[in-house]
């Protein structure tokens, strides 16, 4: 069962608030009866919902994992006609990218038409971990990794990794694995900038329990039901 205004919003009729106004105006029928009470519960499978006489079909949700290439924008449109994430997906799906992954970064990103799922993945209060493998143009000492987990300040904002691990290093280059639970703008690049180090490659390899794995660059796959339910559980 789902609240009527949520059903209308998920079906793409209007926003949640606008759907409430439509209900109050007496423009919605459930099984042939006008309903004006907000919060009325409907069964999307069994009940027939109509707006101004037009039967509304429940919108099926899609959840996909995409291997975003470097150079692709995670936005849904770009005035300069640069390549965007939705160019990699079927055009008629109308999915929205979930969370941040800037143009110069690559790796795992989700796309969905389920706003509640997107909120669960991105809002800091849910603490869904995101794991990155980062190439840095410098030898990264372990004291720097410790500092990143304690926290660093960049332009008045505290940035902190939940976990930091050195994968390999030499005198001119290092690979570091970082886990974050927030999605601040260009957070990892800013972290290393406070240490006067430049990030030369950034790959997101995990979101929660979902791994990038062998998914080819520029390709997508549907999330399994188990993956979806695991992501929706409290971390």
3-class SS at 215?
A: coil
Q: Are 109 and 145 in contact (CB under 8 A)?
A: no
Secondary structure (DSSP) of 80-106: T---BGGGGS-GGG--EEES---TT-E
For the record, the structure tokens of 220 come out as 């997508």
Active-site hit among 78, 87, 94, 102: 102
Phi (first) and psi of residue 191, to 5 degrees: -55, -50
In the residue annotation, 102 being an active-site residue is answered as: yes
Counting DSSP H helices and E strands in the chain, the numbers are 6, 17
User: What does R_g of the chain's alpha carbons equal in angstroms?
Assistant: 22
Beta bridge partners of 154: 157
Q: Supply the residues annotated as catalytic.
A: 102
């Amino acid at each position: 069962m789902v609240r009527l205004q949520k059903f209308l919003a998920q079906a793409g009729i209007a926003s949640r608030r606008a759907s409430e106004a439509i209900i109050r105006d007496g423009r919605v029928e459930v099984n042939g009866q006008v309903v004006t009470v907000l919060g009325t519960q409907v069964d999307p499978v069994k009940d027939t919902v109509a707006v101004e006489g037009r039967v509304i079909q429940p919108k099926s949700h899609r959840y996909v994992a995409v291997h975003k290439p470097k150079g692709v924008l995670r936005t849904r449109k770009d005035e300069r006609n640069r390549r965007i994430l939705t160019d990699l997906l079927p055009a008629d799906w109308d999915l929205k990218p979930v969370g941040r992954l800037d143009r110069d970064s690559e790796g795992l990103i989700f796309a969905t038409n389920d706003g509640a799922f997107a909120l669960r993945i991105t809002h800091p209060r849910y603490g869904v971990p995101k794991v990155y493998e980062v190439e840095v143009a410098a030898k990264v000492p372990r004291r720097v990794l410790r500092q990143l987990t304690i926290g660093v300040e960049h332009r008045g904002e505290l940035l902190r990794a939940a976990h930091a691990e050195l994968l390999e290093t030499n005198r001119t280059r290092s690979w570091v694995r970082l886990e974050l639970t927030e999605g601040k703008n260009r957070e990892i690049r800013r972290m290393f900038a406070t240490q006067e180090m430049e990030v030369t490659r950034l790959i997101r390899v995990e979101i929660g329990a979902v791994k990038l794995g062998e998914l080819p660059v520029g390709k997508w796959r549907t999330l399994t039901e188990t993956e979806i339910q695991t992501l929706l559980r409290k971390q």
